[in-house]
């Protein structure tokens, strides 16, 4: 009936299972590759010590000489 034999149904189920597990494996591999490409987020951002100029009052990164521009 319906033109489907038990063998065809089993073959269809096997193909569906292979596709399902194949897609799952590809998705897992892509996620692992994306995680490896991204830098770890636990590293804090680099901060710079700012020093106030005693002449004009502007803040400059330490080690940078102020040019006293307005
Ligand atoms: Zn200055």
Q: What are the structural domain ranges in the chain?
A: 6-61
How far is Cα 12 from Cα 6, in angstroms, rounded to an integer? 10
pLDDT digits (tens, 9 = 90+) for 11-65: 999 999 999 999 999 999 999 999 888 876 777 778 889 999 999 999 999 888 8
- Distance between Cα 45 and ligand 1 center (Å): 27
More confident call, 3 vs 54: 54
With 0-12 / 13-18 / 19 or more C-beta atoms within 10 angstroms meaning exposed / middle / buried, residue 66 is middle
Q: pLDDT tier at 1 (50, 70, 90 boundaries)?
A: low
How far is Cα 32 from Cα 58, in angstroms, rounded to an integer? 47
More confident call, 18 vs 2: 18
**Range list of β-strands (E), 1-46:** none
Residue of 38, 42, 58 lying closest to 50 (CA atoms)? 58
- Distance between Cα 25 and ligand 1 center (Å): 60
Q: What's the pLDDT at 54?
A: 92
- Distance between Cα 21 and ligand 1 center (Å): 66
């Amino acid at each position: 009936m319906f033109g489907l034999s038990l063998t065809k149904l089993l073959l269809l189920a096997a193909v569906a299972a292979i596709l399902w597990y194949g897609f799952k494996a590809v998705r897992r591999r892509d996620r692992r590759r994306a995680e490896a490409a991204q830098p770890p987020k636990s590293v804090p951002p680099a901060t710079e010590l700012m020093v106030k100029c005693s002449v004009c009052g502007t803040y400059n990164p330490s080690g940078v000489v102020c040019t006293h521009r307005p």
